Amino acid sequence: MFFDRRVLLFMPLIAALILGIALSATLGFLQVSIPDVFVILWSKLIGHSQSANLDPVAATVVADVRMPRILAAVLVGGLLGVSGGVFQAILLNPLADSYTLGISTGAAFGASLVIVLQIFGLSLPAGASIPIFAFFGGIATLAVVLYLAAGDRSLSSTSLILAGVIVSAILSAAIGFLKFLADEQVGLIIFWLMGSLAGASWSNIALLVPTALAGTLVAVYYSRDLNIMATGDRAATSLGINTVRLRTILLTISTLMTALAVSVSGIIGFVGLIVPHMLRHIVGPDNRLLIPLSFFTGGLLLLIADTITRAILPVEVPIGVLTALLGGPFFCILFKQRQRDGKSDF
């Protein structure tokens, strides 16, 4: 019964995602038909030259410019959706996401730091870049949060959230100071903080695909344990679940996913918050369904948002701004609806 329900939920969503990718690849300044998109992608996949009937410029635009960005939107959205679902399950808080524990803020600090260092002309180690600094900024933030919360040996949700709020506040102040130091070049930091997929490349896809696959599989593997943890730490421990170990593993995996996503796209808010929260009202709290569905739904949501800002709006708006503009009112409406239903605790 569970398998049948899962198939019924996944198939339409996967079909919508595939259709969305194909449609998005046709949109832009250069119009390309859906059949031509599939021909171009098939030719690139098998390594053959395109048909003589296809415009070589269109083939290059689709294969090397649009598709990396489109796939990056799907993968980044999926990573944020899954990590948000895991954070909410671990912390037993439907308002939790990567911002709650300061992960996104840590990644933003790492990126801002390297931008300022480059502005001042300081020499950096070979290979140092904004994505690398952002990635390690997110990882270092988790280490500090876990260290602060370690006084509570059970790593309770309250301790983790409080530690995350403290670290996030400190890092936000540090980012403000870096903006001050950047002076006239502060636009570079602000643009990255607003999020963008314009610079996505096939090398980014090569990093995102294994991370998305491995991270989602690990989260799904522990989804049953997350369901049990929702009954409380005492009940979970009595059933043989090491709650501290489980929290540490899943927090680390989710942080890796978030940090890598942020290192590619910059700060994109509300995806990791709204997607699992919305799905929880549609399919219920079962993490065996919620987590994998969060990947596909998050990917579809961010693909739609990126397509709007890339191909529909007259001027390209940073995608982080667009997701906040769309997600903020939606979440306010949902919150008020829950209050009217007498469920303000979500």
- pLDDT digits 0-9 by tens, 131-143: 788 888 988 998 9
Helix (H) or strand (E) segment spanning residue 190: helix 186-194
| Strand, coil or helix: 341 | coil
Strands (E), the chain: none
- Per-residue pLDDT tens over the stretch 178-207: 989 887 778 878 877 888 898 888 888 998
The pLDDT value given to residue 32: 85
User: Which residue type occupies 65?
Assistant: V
Cα–Cα distance between 57 and 101 in angstroms, integer? Answer: 45
The pLDDT value given to residue 45: 75
The pLDDT value given to residue 212: 94
Q: Measured on CA atoms in the order 278, 280, 282, 283, is the torsion positive or negative?
A: positive
The pLDDT value given to residue 128: 58
DSSP 102-133: THHHHHHHHHHHHHHHHHTT----TT--HHHH
| 223: CB partners within 8 A, 6+ apart | 286, 287, 288, 290, 291
239: how many CB neighbours lie within 10 A of its CB? Answer: 11
| SS3 sequence of 259-307 | HHHHHHHCCCCCHHHHHHHHHHHHHCCCHHHHHHHHHHHHHHHHHHHHH
Distances (CA, A) of 326 to 66, 96, 309: 23, 18, 12
Distances (CA, A) of 308 to 7, 26, 261, 319, 325: 29, 13, 20, 9, 13
The pLDDT value given to residue 266: 86
* Residue numbers in the chain where pLDDT is lower than 50: 1, 344-346
Cα–Cα distance between 151 and 144 in angstroms, integer? Answer: 12
Please give the CATH architecture assigned to the domain spanning 2-340: Orthogonal Bundle (1.10)
For the chain, give percent helix, strand, coil, nearest 5.
75, 0, 25
Rounded (10°) CA dihedral 130, 198, 13, 43: -110
The pLDDT value given to residue 124: 65
